[in-house]
A and B are shown apart, each in its own frame.
Chain A
Amino acid sequence: MGLKHQAALGLAGIVAALYSAAAAAEASTALWPALQETFFAGKTIEKADFIKLEGPARAESGAQVPITLTVDKPLDAADAIRKVYIIVDANPIPLAATYQFTPLNGKAQISTRVRMETDSFIHAVGETADGKFYMTALPIRAAGGCGGPVDGDEKAIRAASGKIKVNVDKPVKFGEANPATLMIKHPMFTGLQRDLVSGGYRPAFYMQKLDLSYNGKPVMHIDFGVGTSEDPYVRFFYQPEGPGTLDVKAIDNEGKEFEQHTEVAG
């Protein structure tokens, strides 16, 4: 091997090393200041240990990244967290969902699945009834969850959308926080997925708002964004005082309404 060739390999090695360092880039802290300014203009947000986020260090699938949010503070406290924003910093549409809790949740904890387009921090920002803000952040490595391919026939997907399933864990303990699982059949089109028929992008089509109530009393309100994964999944808590009905009312971004009712016995 000639000297020039060796030098070339050496240089190529350096170039390769530089690029591999770039390839190993992880969640960036640089995105948050602008996001905070967008979503919480003029507000002070304090870092708080009582808001916790759990998730994988490295997501297996960017399309369905499981996370759990816990607010370690009583929901009937004067300074209770009423609303939590879930923001995936590096997603093209960062706000994945907001959750509004009430004392009838019994416990402010939800598990859900979000889309992640690339390595990112997820921020959970909690707002109190009197307008104070607290937050926590979790870095997750992930790829390709927002613009990924949509397989299957659009008509069939639309026809199946809106079906709601609620599974309440049994036995139900009255007067305590009980877990339940909410699942909604919905493609949650992001607006960033290619449409080969039109040659452009498939318009966003997603479940937008959801209200949970127990015997007519509001338990939780959710605003979904397209950062919430296809077929939205939410594991949550509710606190029933006695037997009754857990009602779900939901509406998608095209104005279509869906309902589901679950009898809760002891």
Chain B
Amino acid sequence: MGLKSKDLVGIKALDAADIEQILDTAAGFKDVLGRDIKKVPALRGKTTVNLFYEPSTRTRTSFELAAKRLSTDVINFSVSTSSVVKGESLRDTALTIQALGADFIVVRHPCSGVAHFLANNLDASVVNAGDGTNEHPTQALLDLFTIREKKGVIRGLEVAIVGDILHSRVAKSNIYALKKMGAGVRLIGPPTLVPDVLKDLDVEIYSDMEKGLKGADIVMMLRIQVERQGKGFFPTTVEYFRNWGLTPERLARAKESALVMHPGPMNRGVEISSDVADGMRSVILDQVTNGLAVRMAVLYLLAGVKG
């Protein structure tokens, strides 16, 4: 037992047994979160540093809480108030944080590959909290945990991922994870955001949402990055919603037992209607709770890998 690497850079580097181990461990941590005293002494004396080069509320808060519930000390390193604005390089910043005694460095950065770069340059365990358009591994793990919790299995399920796949690190990590665990994956969206080359990932591609949702067990919506509007990927958010927004009528194409997921933050009326977001089949808030358990499991398991 135990993970093979001191870092969690991406799902790509994990195998099915690693993923299963993280999900099993997370189940134990979910118990802890249901108690009056939601804190365990497991990683007492360790230090976690959140190094976020991009705005984030939920992921940073989730990591912070997960680290605190494991009794590690947490420092939030906010780039806007640090020496990064004075021109310090990423590597120097990271080495400085390590020299202060950080055991875990949780990093989010707009450039793909940053987590990998830091993992190679640091002795501390690096956890990728999203790098560019590459990966966001803990989001995929919490999605899988939620699916397994609700459906009992992952193997054999048909998962439809809808939206801006091209720019989505959440989608990439989920595709890798779902394929490794034996699920079928369909990608749905406008051809500008779901290009044909993605077929190499062993997935089906649909631009017609009605067709793509037919018989799906899971409908995973992605956030449409409204800031990309006007760059020619789609005409307007209104038109996007008309073609690819998840409405009750469209959801009816999926299986009756289908679950609706969204990594947040949601744009109601752009990629998802409020009826669906707040509906019976939505597990969006379960995803948030499970994210805490999964991130605790990741930190706990990484602590066991000696560099």
| Same complex origin of A and B | no
Residues of B bordering A, CB below 8 Å: none
